[in-house]
Amino acid sequence: MNWIVRETGFHKERITTNSNKFMIGNGYMGYRGTMEEFAKSELTATTLAGLYDRVGDKWREPVNAPNGLSTRIYCDGSLLSVLEEEPLEHEQELDMHMGLHRRKTVFNAPGDNRVTLLSERFCSAERLHLIVNKITIECDKDCELRITTGIDGDVWDINGPHLERMVGRVEGKCLVMNAWTHELNQPVSVVEAIDCEFGEQTMITEEKSIYRQIIIQYRAGEQYTLVKYVSVFTGMDEVENTELAAINSSKEALKLGYAQIFLEQAVKWSRKWKLSDVIIEGDEEAGHALRYSMYQLHIIAPDQSEKVSIPARGLSGQVYKGAVFWDTEMFMLPFFLYTQPEVARNLMMYRVHTLGGARRKAAEYGFEGAFYAWESQETGDDACTLFNVNDVFTGRPMRTYFRDKQVHISADVAHGIWQYYTFTGDESILLDGGAEVIWECAKFFYSYAYYNSRKDRYEILDVTGPDEYHERVNNNAFTNMLVKQTLFIMMEVMKHLQDNHPGLYEKILSIGHNGPTLEQISHMYDNLYVPQPDLENKIIPQFDGYFKLEDVSLAELKSRIINKNEYLGGGSGLATTTQILKQADVVLMLHLFKDRFDQETKQANWQFYEPRTEHGSSLSSCIYALVASDIGSPDWAYPYFMRTATIDLTGESKQYVGDLYIGGTHPAANGGAWMAAVLGFAGLQFQGNGVIISPALPEKWTAIESPISVQGQSYRIRVGKEEVQITAADSNTKDMSFTILGQTINVAQGQAITVSYKC
């Protein structure tokens, strides 16, 4: 089993791509896969989850901490850097099994001296504030080695500088760097302790940096190893003194030593994989890519905080303002729901904690209830700007309607909480604020909807659906369906509360004064228009008037492109007046509500919309894979699955929209790869009262095996070409029904059952 992602040789043009690809992280922070000798020009970053800052009227974005892993090695006065001269050997790898980054470089130092640098680093999954870096140096020949290693405060910022009043100092054996954020004056402290019992050490303080310089008179055959323990604390952490906390953290790590910290890491990661690792038999490349996708999710999952969620580019930098989008609920949540429900709970509790921002946004636009941020940061206020893309032809900011009109976000949030509740049976999410969120989302939609007197129905007007190339449309099928579902969820939740928690029920009903009554929302539910499949051809119109748009082929549309970075949506984008979509929209709805549509409808819409989809979003491919599997065409699905699963391996994703850099990692696609494999090809679907398995394996796959957890019960499911094996954990506390292509069986704790099937 291949747990390694490796690239050999050094290629300057791949620095950015590889820094995404070889990221490490622990949910508290992400560290890009840059080299020790890199600085901000190579986009080196320690990106912090949940700490945001704004400078002037520039975009608000996450803060990158001072880089505690900055190390420069000079051999006989000459800097050893891959940027200076092509190295003799170079290898960069991830060990996904333990969340390690390794690097080996052989430099051609002065006097034909081969200097080998080994570096291993990880963000501790046990100690979230800690990042560890072990460096080993070996040379062919005698020489003078000078190592400067410490904290580089001259960090990469897109819309910074975010850190001010930067002060470096020495505290005992520790290097300390303190700074404060521009907007909210939040302290950020980075401390480095080092295990390095050799050489002659002096301290060097520069304007924004503090280093120790270690000089070694190197003799051939020696090997020097040092370990850096870097700790990061900020004002967002519940500590009184961030500096002190960081010092203590680094000192403790130093005391425990590398072996112990490493062991903790191994244990933590072992658990992650036990709960989640999916094995694909017969397709090593696919298996590796899927594992890598899960790795990316693991390194950014907030498994110890319910105050943060996962940004659209993970912790790979400041792109997309480090903001949380619907990506989390719709593309990442299922992975966590099925594998680590406690993380899923954190993700959804983040929405509970940001309800205030959602209420403010609704009020700002003149609506009731909660209108969740399209781009959510720590408060839930919307970080999304009204001008999101620059027009490549005029250089002018372009008005887009992501913030104003993508109202489905509130439905996505309600859907997410409901999914968590039904999957886990954990009612506490509702009592801890989830029910209130759902109620407020329903209220929002009631206030957003209009009644069409002539047609005697409610409609949802002027929205942008997932297909962002068509802004401000009426009755987007996806949105209307999700809104209807939100009203349904709300009624179910309120019924549940009325029966079981009447106090909370009354309390929620009393929120606000002018809000609608339950009866009014129920009336809307009964009369809300949702676009339906055509009686003849089964096609569902994506929105009112969609079929009147120009029916141009994707090739023809692309031939009209003048500037390769031009945005196809917005006020006058090429796609806006055509049927070309950015991403799955109707087809996503068919996935989310797969039981409500017959196969014929799903197939007709897949075939209709697929050639019209430009896949301008990395969220698109996995949905086409999922629905293709659902309609029994896994081989249509396979290329979409591979495209999704390899997105951060190949780095071949869209890097620019207009002149806006949008690179980084793609957690939604990572989550989508898992969905396509487990929910698509293996065909798993938890339905409240049991699990349905509808296998649809790609031709060359012989089997797929995955652990899952539903309603607190754990199973390993192995789906082969002709049989399904289900193994229930010994620790399970109740039975679960599984239905495989119509055969329903009951699986008790500890049971292992094999069901044969024929497609």
- Residues marked as catalytic: 468
Sequence-separated (6 or more) residues with CB below 8 Å from residue 640: 621, 622, 624, 625, 628, 676
Binding mask 634-653 for its own copies (x = CB under 8 A): --------------------
Query: Whose Cβ is closer to its own copies: residue 290's or residue 483's?
Result: 483
Residue 659 in contact with its own copies, rule: CB under 8 A = no
Min separation Cβ 455 and its own copies, Å? 9
Residue 362 in contact with its own copies, rule: CB under 8 A = no
Q: For the packed helices 341-353 and 408-424, what is the interaxial angle rounded to 10 degrees? A: 140
What is the DSSP secondary-structure string of 48-91?
A: EEEEEE--TTSPPEEEEEPEEEEEEEEETTEEE-TTTS--SEEE
Coil, helix or strand for 666?
coil
Query: Whose Cβ is closer to its own copies: residue 507's or residue 560's?
Result: 560
Residue 531 in contact with its own copies, rule: CB under 8 A = no
Report how many residues bind its own copies under the rule CB under 8 A. Answer: 36
Q: For the packed helices 408-424 and 435-448, what is the interaxial angle rounded to 10 degrees? A: 150
Residue 446 in contact with its own copies, rule: CB under 8 A = yes
Min separation Cβ 462 and its own copies, Å? 7
Residue 510 in contact with its own copies, rule: CB under 8 A = no
Among positions 110-139, residues that touch its own copies (CB under 8 A) are none
Min separation Cβ 368 and its own copies, Å? 7
Cis before 161 (ω within 30): yes
Min separation Cβ 659 and its own copies, Å? 15
Query: Whose Cβ is closer to its own copies: residue 51's or residue 442's?
Result: 442
Query: For residue 741, what is the DSSP state?
Result: T
Min separation Cβ 446 and its own copies, Å? 7
Among positions 214-273, residues that touch its own copies (CB under 8 A) are none
Q: SS3 for 485-516, per residue? A: HHHHHHHHHHHHHHHHCHHHHHHHHCCCCCCC
CB 162 within 8 A of CB 181: yes
CA distances from 528 to 405, 486, 539 (A): 19, 12, 20
Distance CA 100, CA 6 (A): 12
Distance CA 164, CA 490 (A): 46
The single residue among 9, 571, 611, 750 that binds its own copies, judged by CB under 8 A, is 571
What is the DSSP secondary-structure string of 198-255?
A: SSEEEEEE-SSEEEEEEEEEE-TT-EEEEEEEEEEEETTSS-S-HHHHHHHHHHHHHH
Residue 520 in contact with its own copies, rule: CB under 8 A = yes
Sequence-separated (6 or more) residues with CB below 8 Å from residue 215: 144, 145, 146, 147, 199, 200
Residue-wise burial string across 467-482, b where 16 or more C-beta atoms lie within 10 A, e elsewhere: bbbbbebbbbbbbbbb
Min separation Cβ 573 and its own copies, Å? 8
Residue 559 in contact with its own copies, rule: CB under 8 A = no
Query: Whose Cβ is closer to its own copies: residue 573's or residue 664's?
Result: 573
Min separation Cβ 725 and its own copies, Å? 53
Residue 532 in contact with its own copies, rule: CB under 8 A = no
Residue 658 in contact with its own copies, rule: CB under 8 A = no
Residue 560 in contact with its own copies, rule: CB under 8 A = yes
Among positions 365-404, residues that touch its own copies (CB under 8 A) are 368, 386-387, 391, 393-394, 396, 398-399
The single residue among 341, 416, 516, 683 that binds its own copies, judged by CB under 8 A, is 516
CB 721 within 8 A of CB 757: no
Residue 570 in contact with its own copies, rule: CB under 8 A = yes
Residue 152: beta bridge partners?
Answer: 67, 209
Q: Tokens 């993380």 identify what position? A: 343
Distance CA 276, CA 345 (A): 16
Min separation Cβ 494 and its own copies, Å? 19
Query: Whose Cβ is closer to its own copies: residue 394's or residue 733's?
Result: 394
The single residue among 562, 730, 742, 758 that binds its own copies, judged by CB under 8 A, is 562
Residue 428 in contact with its own copies, rule: CB under 8 A = no
The single residue among 112, 240, 453, 730 that binds its own copies, judged by CB under 8 A, is 453
Residue 459 in contact with its own copies, rule: CB under 8 A = yes
The single residue among 205, 213, 248, 452 that binds its own copies, judged by CB under 8 A, is 452
Query: Whose Cβ is closer to its own copies: residue 121's or residue 443's?
Result: 443
Min separation Cβ 387 and its own copies, Å? 8
Q: Report residue 468 as tokens.
A: 């962002």
Min separation Cβ 397 and its own copies, Å? 9
Q: How are strands ordered across the β-sheet holding 200-205?
A: 78-80, 67-75, 143-152, 209-218, 200-205
| Number of alpha carbons in the 13 Å side-chain half-sphere of residue 262 | 12
Residue 577 in contact with its own copies, rule: CB under 8 A = yes
Residue-wise burial string across 389-411, b where 16 or more C-beta atoms lie within 10 A, e elsewhere: bbbbeeeeebebbbbbbbbbbbb
The single residue among 3, 451, 488, 608 that binds its own copies, judged by CB under 8 A, is 451
Query: Whose Cβ is closer to its own copies: residue 343's or residue 441's?
Result: 441
The single residue among 1, 259, 454, 536 that binds its own copies, judged by CB under 8 A, is 454
Stretch that binds its own copies, among 64-72, 330-338, 448-456, 530-538 (CB under 8 A): 448-456
Q: SS3 for 563-620, per residue? A: CCCCCCCCCCCCCCCECCECCCCHHHHHHHCHHHCCHHHHHHHHHHHHHHECCCCCCH
The single residue among 167, 266, 279, 461 that binds its own copies, judged by CB under 8 A, is 461
Distance CA 6, CA 649 (A): 10
Min separation Cβ 644 and its own copies, Å? 32
Residue 689 in contact with its own copies, rule: CB under 8 A = no
The single residue among 58, 255, 271, 472 that binds its own copies, judged by CB under 8 A, is 472
Residue 501 CA to its chain's centroid (Å)? 35
Q: Which helix (H) or strand (E) holds 622?
A: helix 620-630
656-657 and 660-661 strand pairing: antiparallel
Which residues bind to its own copies, rule: CB under 8 A?
Answer: 368, 386-387, 391, 393-394, 396, 398-399, 446-447, 449-454, 458-459, 461-462, 472, 474, 514, 516, 520, 524, 560, 562, 570-574, 576-577
